[in-house]
Structure 1
Amino acid sequence: MKGKIIMYRGSQVISFFLLALNILMLFGGQILFKLGLEKIGGVSIASAWKALFSPIIIAGLVLYVCATLIWFTVLSRMPLSVAYPMQSLAYILGLLAAIFIFNEPVSILKWIGAVVIMVGVFLVAID
């Protein structure tokens, strides 16, 4: 019963908007991490602390903190069994960023994986 109370608290439109915002912020944070690491020439385990002084990486961390606060709201409004699988859409966005922002090659196997993820998200959404 409690799951149903959580599921129907507030507007579903607002819940999905917050979830989409969370996904976009996670995606944006990853993009900033990658850009920041490229700018400082990458890091190793021994030099990872250098990343903490990169303004671009700090911006990514701020996005992650904000995304986490929004995630708390999402979890208060939606069942975990719906919200968490939908976050996998961030992987699809990451794949697109790899191509269009970072000019990375993407294999057919990765595209097949992306389709499987999208089908899974669709099945979770319609249940």
Structure 2
Amino acid sequence: MYVILLLVNVVFLTSGQVLWKMSVRNIGNFNLSSLFSVLLSPYFIMGGFLYVMATLIWIYLLTKLPLSTLYPMQSLAYVFGLLAGYFIFHEFISFQKIIGVAIILIGVYFIAK
């Protein structure tokens, strides 16, 4: 059950980042006016909600598992973020990034054991 909650936490964190990226996608110059526009964007608000939910899950998980196990496993957010960048925003993924993700996944595997 804790693994599922950790994955939900990571999905919420990554989804929040995706929504925040979507909220700033059409911003030309970043200034005070555009900042208020971003803060009132439904994408930004929903991303913030997901961050709050992820934080609540995280606090619960901290009461159940050691930080030395949880925190490194949360690095899966980097993997999900890379995939979101590729599939949603059509960003280029270099070979170096693929190697980096592979190293993260290997590390998470060893920590989970």
Q: TM-score, normalised by structure 2?
A: 0.91
Extract unaligned runs of 5+ from structure 1: 1-13
AA aligned opposite 2:27: G
Partner Cα distance (1:118, 1:61) in 2: 27
Q: Does 1:41 align with 2:15?
A: no
Q: State the shift of 1:45 in Å.
A: 6.0
Q: Which runs of 5+ in 2 are unaligned?
A: none
- Aligned residues of 1:43 and 1:50 also touching (Cα < 8 A): no
Q: TM-score, normalised by structure 1?
A: 0.82
SS at match of 2:30: coil
Instruction: Tell me if 1:120 matches 2:107.
Output: yes
For residue 43 of structure 1, report the CA deviation from its aligned partner: 5.8
Which residue is 1:81 aligned to? 68
85 and 45 in structure 1: CA distance in 2 versus 1, 3 angstrom threshold:
farther
Q: Which residues of 2 match residues 23-102 of structure 1 at below 5 A?
A: 23-38=10-25, 40-41=26-27, 44=30, 46=32, 47-102=34-89
Aligned length: 112
Structure 1 runs of 4+ aligned residues shifted over 6 Å read none
| CA gap 1:43/1:88 in 2 versus in 1, 3 angstroms | farther
Task: Name which one, 1 or 2, has greater alpha-carbon Rg.
Answer: 1
Residue in structure 2 matched with residue 11 of structure 1 by the alignment:
none
- Partner Cα distance (1:63, 1:42) in 2: 26
